[in-house]
Structure formats: C-alpha cells, structure tokens
Amino acid sequence: MKHITIKDVAKKLNVSISTVSRAFNNKYDIKEETKEKILKTAKELGYKPNPIAKKLSQQRSFTIGIIVPEFSNNFFPEVMLGAQEVLLKEGCQALIMQSNHSWEVEKKNVETLVNNMVDGLIISLTSESKNNAYYNDLIKQNIPIVFFNRTVDQIKASKVLFDDYKWAMFATEHLIVQGYKNITHLEGDKNLTLTKNRLRGFTDAHKKYKLTVGKVVPCGFKMEDGERVAQEMIDKSEVPRAIFAANDSSAVGAISVFKKNGYSIPKDIAIVGFTESNLAKHTTPTLTSVEQPTNDIGQTAAKLLLEQINTKGLFVPQTIVLNGRLNIRDSSVKII
Amino acid sequence: MKHITIKDVAKKLNVSISTVSRAFNNKYDIKEETKEKILKTAKELGYKPNPIAKKLSQQRSFTIGIIVPEFSNNFFPEVMLGAQEVLLKEGCQALIMQSNHSWEVEKKNVETLVNNMVDGLIISLTSESKNNAYYNDLIKQNIPIVFFNRTVDQIKASKVLFDDYKWAMFATEHLIVQGYKNITHLEGDKNLTLTKNRLRGFTDAHKKYKLTVGKVVPCGFKMEDGERVAQEMIDKSEVPRAIFAANDSSAVGAISVFKKNGYSIPKDIAIVGFTESNLAKHTTPTLTSVEQPTNDIGQTAAKLLLEQINTKGLFVPQTIVLNGRLNIRDSSVKII
DNA sequence: TTGTAAGCGTTATCAC
DNA sequence: GTGATAACGCTTACAA
C-alpha cells in the first residue's frame, strides 16, 4: 500500500513541497489560485496528510490519551463519548486505553501514550493506584493531565469531579426520611477520594438527623463484590434493613444474592445504588440510583485539557465539580 | 518536556547513532560489550525510543486498530481484552475506536487509523454499514483486515465468526422441546450476516420439528428496541407464548415492558436471549442466553491478523467459526 | 564491528 | 508568494 505524499502532489504541479504544505496549513501566505489548484489535485491524487510525519516534525500530536479503569460499566464509555465530542471539534483525536484495574497496566499505558507524543492525558485512576508521586512527576515535566472522578487529593492537577459527598448524603437521606433505620453502606474501593466522600456523605446524613451512624462494610465496585458481601451478611445473620451501595454494580450483585435467599426488595431490604447504570431501570425491582452527568464530565475534562495545552504552563489547576440527580425507583420505596 | 533521543546517548558515549540504534534492535552485529554499555547509559539517561520516529522510518507501526460499534454492551470490551492479550505478546499495541453505530464514524475511524499507519485492522461492522466496496478496496490496497462477528458475506477477508445459525437453532429448539408453540423471533439489525443466520436457525429449528415457523418481528439490538417491540405487541394484542430475542439487551428491554404490563415471565411469556451479557444472571427472572466465547474471538482475530501481516500478501483469507454454549436459566423453563 | 549518510513525510526558517 | 533546506528521531544500506 503506497501512500501518496506531499512530494507526489508537488511533482505533479511543478511546485515545491513547501508550497503544497502551505496550501494545507492556512497560516502562511499563498496565492489563492495556487492553493486551490493544489487542493484540487491533492484530492484527485487521493493525498492524505501523514499524521505521523506531522507529529514528528511538529513535536505535537493533536492526539490526547484517555485512560480508564474499564469499559464494562457504561459510565466510562459515556464519559469518553462526551470527551470525544469536544476533542473532535478541535481537530484532536482520542487514543483510548484501559488499565483493567491494574496499576502496572495503567502506568504502562501512560508511558505508551507519552512516548507516542500525546498532547495531554485524561485519566481516571484504577482503584489500586497509590503512586501519586509518579503523576506529580509527570505534571512537573509539563505533561498536561486532567483527572476525572477517580483521583486522589495529593495529585496537583486539574480535576473534574462529581460531588460524591453531597449525593451520597442525599441518597442516604432519602432512606432516612422514609424511616429506615439500620442502614449499611457498602464501601467502594479504598484510597479513592470518591469512596471517602461517599462515606462521609453517608455518615453526615446520619448526623444531620441525629441518628447513630450505620455500619460500613468494605465492598468494592464489582457485581461479585456485592454478591460476596451480601452472602457474608446472610451467613452472619447481619442483614440490614437498608443499604446504600458503592455503585449500581455492587447493588445489583447484592440484590440478586438477597433475592436468591428469599429476601424481598424493598420489603425486607431497601437499597440505593450510585452512578446510574443502564441496569438501574431494568432490574427487578428497578433500582434507585444517583445519576452522574457522564457526558458533561467528559466534555468538561476535554475542555479543561485543551485549555491547559493551549496556555502552556501559565495556567492554574482547576477543580470543577458537577451536579447529578437522584432517580428514585422501586428498590428504596417504603412499603407500608 | 524534553525527550532524550538516540543522539544524546550516542554523544555521551562517543559512538555513532547507528550503533545506538543497533544496540536496541538485536538483529545487527554489535559487540556485546558496547551493546551493554549503550543499554546501560541509555537507561541512566532515561532514554525511551520514540515510536513516532520509528513508525515513520520503518513505515510500520506495530499498532493495530480495533473498531467496534460500541462499548456499552460488554461483549465488545471482552473481545478487545482477548485481542490485546495476544497483541501485547507480539509487542503490538491496540488502538481502539468506536463507531457508535454510524457508518460515517466508522469510515472516519478507518481512515484515521490507516493514516496513522496501523499495521492492520480488526473490525466489527456497525449495523448500518452497506459499503462492502469500501472494504474490498482497502483489502486490495493490501491493508490487512480481520472482521469478527458483525460482517457481511461480500467482503473478502479473514473472519472470526460465531455459528449464529447453529446456536439460534439450539436456542429455538430449547423452547420447542419444552412444548412452547407460537414462538416469535425478535430480529436483529438487518443486513448483518449474523442476523440472517440467527433467523435461519430459528426457522430451521421449526422445520426440524415439522412446526409452522413462528412470527418474525424486526427489532434491533438495543434495549429500547426490545421495549418498543414489546409495547407494540401488547398494543396489538399479539403477545406470543415464547420469544427468541435478537440479543440480551433487546430481551431485557422486552421483559421489562411485559412485566410492567402485568405479564409474568416465563409463565405467560418464555424468553431466550443471545450473546450472554452480564445482565443475564441478574435480571428477574434470570435470562436464558447463548454465551459466546468473547475472549477467544478476540484472541483468534488478533492471531489471524498478525499471521496475515507477517506473511505479506501470500496468505489466504480464512474464516474461523467458534463454538458457544446455551446457558439455560429461569426465563425459559416450562412451568407446569 | 562500527560509522556515514540517505531516507521516512512533514513543518519551518531562511533566502529570493 | 514561493523555493531550498534543515530539522524531527529513527532505521538501514553501504563503506570502512
């Protein structure tokens, strides 16, 4: 497969390659007439600028890297879609990699992307990642990075966050005001800021209503985590009256184990999820959940990153917090 | 951010850049001693080969592009994981793009990847794609492509397929042998081979048992499609006794509408899905579904592609058909 | 075994 | 306005 190059176009028209290059990059003076002529024959010849050569020459790739822990949950795909919308408008391309919940893979992905000269990175950390120093180093090397949702406080970079505290509080409150006592929180992966914030929302909701804070059970974000924890609760005969789960996946996992063991939702156990997934509307009962503005998160992260890239250095890290919504469904309503 | 280059290493050691290059590419003669010396100081200096320059110079990228219609369903992420496993072993990297069910986006993705000098492509077509000519052109240009699952007959390339016919037949048979009559098939997106094959399996299962073939309703692969079709059935009072759905998503969509309208599954309507999703085990009732060997599909596609890349030209397109499994769950059992 | 130099397809800095 | 030409970082004949 032979690529047509700028040279072929130049030769065909008896102009220099620099003229052809100029025709494709509006920033230089060039006679309108020759420009059109070049553009026309370039199209005829099927010329496509080679981005690789452009990258090498410009030391800039017009590509940004996106690293997410997983694709399986539909949260991340939706965020990426949002990011791609704004990147596309700026002529940037997204290079997507998944770290598959492993810090090693995440680090390797970062290196691959940096070596491939991405202009910047949009990252949501794996649950495991503890290497803030690594990222702070990268940032010191002037590699633009924006983090979203899964991040840690110690990293000094722009961030797009969801107010997990506030919405965890709302979610818990929703259970409390309906009169549920003995509410247990299934805690997400530790050492993520969002996990701490959701926990804080959970406890503060109790405090607000002057209730003793419910139990907190380490769980995780996967269905299997929810299944495991629910099974443990049943085995220990410590099944709570209501649950505020780490996320929808763990909630769904827990629900299925509870139901299998004869518990009825919400009659025996009320349950609220987090991070509205496409599951929520289709489980039985339908799942109450906090909806995050996925598309908006992606768009905001991309905008922030592009801004940072274009202002080279003299920018201040920003943290933008976005709003959500509590979708109340059958899994949490009080049956009288 | 200043990258350390081959030059820096060469200067430091007073050797030529070609020697340094050779030290990193074992194929040339080079004194073991100098090689080690170079590798050592390269590491000290923090030298990382620049893949962009390598691509430009070698006209080969050691990157393969993967294009899928979507990430939302967990079928495609699992396939990609499988592909990445084998690619990684060969020192290849995967560049993933989603076409978001649009032929225009798919075409643009292909162009982006080709321009970025991917060594080959692994593609699952969007439902819309009708442009076989486009792909046949690409193949004529010697761009290695392997298609998986979603493909059309007219494209002359290697393919990794699932025997949709066989497993659709098994799925339908499973309903028939339990005594269900009046079985309706929710048909997937038209003009995909797999849709035709599933339909053929559906009809042939009926023929095998000398039954009149059930109704076929055009549906699609999304939850909304299932919801829409179920609602139409209810509105027209044409609710069947059993359903073989296009896939799990459409099955789940249909189930939720039926349940909302007072139908009981499987008592009133038995239902079987296709392409085991993480939903199947967690719906109520749990969903009978055909499980596809996702990881294996990815691995096989990647192997086929690498083989094709390495044998440049003198290879024959292969079609590999993989096997699956019917997971029988509550949604399809006969209640006596 | 090592060095020299041309080339990969662009962009960018000079002249003219 | 346009054309040479030197980068960008690497590979790879060909010489030495």
Give the one of A76, A116, A142 whose C-beta lies nearest to B52's C-beta: A116
pLDDT in tens, B152-172: 888 999 999 999 999 999 999
Q: A4 vs chain B: nearest CA distance in angstroms?
A: 11
With cut-offs at 50, 70 and 90, classify the pLDDT of residue B115: confident
CB contact under 8 A, B279 and A282: yes
CATH 1.10.260.40 residue spans of chain B: 6-57
With cut-offs at 50, 70 and 90, classify the pLDDT of residue A62: confident
Q: Which amino acid is at B265?
A: I
Q: What's the pTM? A: 0.82
Nearest to A116 by CA among B12, B94, B106: B94
CB contact under 8 A, B279 and A279: yes
Report whether pLDDT(B335) > 80: no
With cut-offs at 50, 70 and 90, classify the pLDDT of residue B242: very high
State residue B190's pLDDT score. 87
With cut-offs at 50, 70 and 90, classify the pLDDT of residue A200: very high
Percentage of chain B surpassing pLDDT 90? 66
Mean residue pLDDT across chain A: 91
With cut-offs at 50, 70 and 90, classify the pLDDT of residue A278: confident
State residue A175's pLDDT score. 97
Nearest to A218 by CA among A210, A204, A208, A228: A228
- Are A141 and A168 in contact, with CB atoms under 8 Å apart? no
Determine the average pLDDT of the residues in A161-181. Answer: 96
State residue B236's pLDDT score. 97
Find the range with the poorest average confidence among A7-11, B127-131, B266-270. Answer: B127-131
CATH 3.40.50.2300 residue spans of chain A: 60-162+293-323, 164-292
State residue B334's pLDDT score. 82
Considering only the top CATH level, what class is B60-162+293-323? alpha beta
How many angstroms from the chain centroid is the CA of residue B260? Answer: 33
Nearest to B20 by CA among B6, B4, B33: B6
- Are B128 and A63 in contact, with CB atoms under 8 Å apart? no
State residue B100's pLDDT score. 81
Determine the average pLDDT of the residues in A37-57. Answer: 91
| B84 C-beta neighbours (distance < 10 Å), count | 23
| B271 C-beta neighbours (distance < 10 Å), count | 29
CB contact under 8 A, B53 and A56: yes
Question: B83-86 long-range CB contacts below 8 Å, 24 or more apart?
Answer: B83/B122, B83/B298, B83/B299, B83/B301, B83/B302, B84/B298, B84/B302, B85/B295, B85/B298, B85/B299, B85/B302, B86/B298, B86/B299, B86/B302, B86/B303, B86/B306
Give the one of A49, A56, A223 whose C-beta lies nearest to B56's C-beta: A56
On the CB side of A65, CA atoms within 13 Å amount to 28
β pairing state of A325-327 and A289-291: antiparallel
Nearest to B264 by CA among B167, B212, B335: B335
CA distance A136 to A138: 5
CA dihedral A7, A8, A12, A16 (to 10 degrees): -10
CA distance B219 to B248: 12
With cut-offs at 50, 70 and 90, classify the pLDDT of residue A153: confident
Q: B284 vs chain A: nearest CA distance in angstroms?
A: 6
**Is domain A6-57 classified as CATH 1.10.260.40?**
yes
Any CB–CB contact under 8 A between A81 and chain B?
A: yes
Determine the average pLDDT of the residues in A269-290. Answer: 92
**Is domain A164-292 classified as CATH 3.40.50.2300?**
yes
State residue B97's pLDDT score. 85
CA distance A34 to A39: 9
Any CB–CB contact under 8 A between B303 and chain A?
A: no
State residue A2's pLDDT score. 67
CA distance A64 to A76: 16
